[in-house]
Chains A and B, each alone.
Chain A
Amino acid sequence: MTLTKYSFFIGILFFYTLMAAAYCDNIPVDIHGFLSQGFLQTDRGEYMGKSDDGTFKFNEIGLNVSSYLTDDIHLGIQLISRKMGNCGENNLQIDWAFADYRWRDYLGFRFGKIQMPFGLYNEIRDIDMLRTAILLPSCIYNEAWRETFSAIEGVGIYGNISENEFGNINYQALAGTLNVSNDGGVANYIEQTGMFDVYNLELRKSFITSILWDLPIDGLSIGTSYLSTRMHEKSFTNDHFMYGPIRLGMDMAEQLPEQFNQVIADKTGDRNTATMIANNFTSLIVPENIQTLNNQWPKESFKDFHTVGFWVLSFKYQWQDLIISAERMDFKMNYDWFLTENGFDLRGRDNSFNSHSYYVSGTYRLLDWLELGIYYTVYYQDESDKNAEFYQALNQMEFYQYPVEMIYLQTSQGIRQNFKDFANDVFAQSGAGVTLSDEDVKDIQLIQDYELEKIKYHDFNGWQKELVVSVNMQLKPQWNLKLEGHFIDGVTFLDWTANGGDIPRKRFLFASKVTFNF
């Protein structure tokens, strides 16, 4: 039984216990909920699934039950079912379920599955009617990561320290595990270079701390949150062109020694010398860590992410019906990446990864029923490589630029020449009195029995920038109707590898959503 299923049953048990206790002891229970249905359409390309023809695969249904068992103990559970393009599939899940013991206002304890206090809005990302925008700024609140970043299963402390002269400080610190699936948004993000297919993803112990300080200046708040976790990933290599040199090396180690051996044996009749020369030359032209690989493909690889850290700084200012907020996130990962078979190091570049993102937003309630919002968000996948030169350099790789067949032919040609020279040097030094000619080596060849997948990389694979304009109409206290336009530049968070890299840099996304809550 997976952890997710286990926690689901614990949650259901928790739900029934809560209802039974309330019923037997006549304790009031609050039942609330929400239901929303949205629509997404892009002018070209896809957004979180097929969307260029418009899609209604965008909904949320939530049911919330909570009660104060005593003055200090609060129990609650929220069930949620959601769908957004390829994510969610409307499976019923525990959104959160926890017991809360508030010992003092400045110190309380929580146990269970708890919403993560990440940035200003992560805790309410499931609750559409509490914000102006339909989609929160993707640079920090990436929809594809929502299943993982919504809640943490574990324990925590929290409190409010409220002094007149210092304002109010709200803090939370939580430790536990995050929910991550092998085919979810985090796995897709890791896979987006197109170089491997994740089949096992585990997040180790995670910690998050959050502080929000309402300053003594009316309406002004600043905050920070830090999430730290560790991750282990297993994947299979695929037919990405980056593996061309490895596969060529493997074919050389597999196909050439016997051919070398045969050529020398035919010429000298000495099997021992033939084996010695064949092995020495193979060792010279094939790196040692490739020689020790078997000739099977694909191969299992693993990544150990020693550090996965997200640090968010938040700012919010509210003046009457105007709210200005801004947040900045630094996202750091540090990892090793090896082939499981022999520990071959697959890191193509520096093993650290620092991304940087921010957004600035403003909302204004123009009328009691009408609120307007705008935000601009920027995400750079690699802080030190804003122009995505890494991706562009991939397009310069030999195995991207030329057909594999041609590379094998040219390599065979080079090997024939070099092998002849190498063998003749050995013969000359040993005084064997034998010389290899072009005719002797003409049949040495490498056979290619595979094709490589060629993804075209762009500089805009390295960023995503969005300008978003929203209208939120609260027609009745329980009803919200929202309309939103996204002007998107860059494709970092989009599933661009599914299009073989053939994807437009800019697109427009229209979103609308109606929500009912009770």
Chain B
Amino acid sequence: MKKNTFSLALILLLIFMSASDVSAEKIWFIVNKSVHDQLTKNVIKKIFLGRKSKWNNQERIIFFTFDSTDIIQQFARTYLGKSKQQFDNYWKRQLFTGKGSIPKSIKTLDESFKIISQTKGSIMFIPSQNHEINHDNIRIISIK
């Protein structure tokens, strides 16, 4: 009986650990070159929870998400203290209570670079790359 209880507890623990597993992939942030603000983990949290809507130069912050479950999960866990589902539900709550719009999700890196370079005041997270990225009108930021 005791053995069965132990096995059950172990299985539950494994399920728990797998459910909360976070990929080790790193996150980069890309911003339009019009953005000169210092970015910290706390600023990122405020932006992606809609609590900070303007940069210091009063330009509107436009943020996007990268359309990958793993990347969003890692970003949300690391910077917001939420799971992907909690992050999704947070923005659905904002949407369906009239307090904001769900951030647009961009599917590819190329499209991400294009949109960020063309949109003033924009920011988004992308998976870190193992090569340097040189793109006009974009700054790449890694936050420790």
Which residues in A have some Cβ–Cβ distance to B below 8 Å?
30, 32, 34, 62, 64, 66, 68, 71, 74, 76-78, 96-98, 100, 102, 105, 114-115, 123-124, 126-127, 129-130, 160, 162, 164, 168, 218-219, 318, 320-321, 365-368, 371, 474, 477, 517
Q: Which of B83, B88, B93, B101 contacts A321 (CB 8 A)?
A: B83
CB A31 to nearest CB in B, in angstroms, measures 11
Residues A96 and B98 in contact, CB atoms below 8 Å apart: yes
Whether A127 contacts B83 in the complex (CB less than 8 A), given A96-B97, A321-B19, comes out as: no
Residues A115 and B81 in contact, CB atoms below 8 Å apart: no
* CB closest residue in chain B, given A161: B51
Q: Using a CB-CB cutoff of 8 Å, which residues 94-110 of chain B contact chain A?
A: 95-102
CB A301 to nearest CB in B, in angstroms, measures 39
29 contacts between A and B (CB under 8 A): A30-B102, A64-B98, A66-B95, A74-B101, A100-B98, A105-B51, A105-B52, A105-B53, A105-B54, A114-B98, A123-B93, A123-B97, A124-B96, A127-B92, A127-B93, A127-B97, A129-B92, A130-B92, A168-B46, A168-B51, A219-B81, A318-B82, A320-B20, A321-B20, A321-B86, A366-B16, A366-B19, A367-B15, A477-B88
Bound CA–CA A129/B53 (angstroms): 26
**Contact residues of A: prevailing secondary structure:** strand
Whether A78 contacts B96 in the complex (CB less than 8 A), given A219-B81, A365-B19, A367-B15, comes out as: yes
B60 at the interface (CB under 8 A from A): yes
Binary contact readout B102-128 vs A (1 if CB under 8 angstroms, 0 otherwise): 100000000000000000000000000
Whether A366 contacts B101 in the complex (CB less than 8 A), given A32-B96, A105-B54, comes out as: no
B23 at the interface (CB under 8 A from A): no
Residues B51 and A162 in contact, CB atoms below 8 Å apart: yes
* CB closest residue in chain A, given B69: A368
Bound CA–CA A149/B51 (angstroms): 26
User: Within 8 Å CB of A34, what residues of B?
Assistant: 96
* CB closest residue in chain A, given B42: A164
Beyond contacts A130-B92, A320-B83, A368-B85: 20 other A-B pairs, Cβ-Cβ < 8 A, are: A30-B101, A32-B96, A62-B96, A71-B54, A77-B98, A96-B98, A98-B98, A124-B97, A126-B96, A127-B93, A129-B92, A160-B51, A162-B51, A162-B52, A321-B20, A321-B83, A365-B19, A366-B15, A366-B16, A474-B85
Bound CA–CA A66/B98 (angstroms): 7
B89 at the interface (CB under 8 A from A): yes
User: Within 8 Å CB of A164, what residues of B?
Assistant: 42
CB B63 to nearest CB in A, in angstroms, measures 13
* CB closest residue in chain A, given B101: A30
CB A78 to nearest CB in B, in angstroms, measures 7
Top-6 shortest CB links A-B:
A71-B60, A76-B98, A160-B51, A127-B96, A123-B97, A115-B97
Whether A368 contacts B19 in the complex (CB less than 8 A), given A30-B101, A62-B96, A66-B101, comes out as: yes
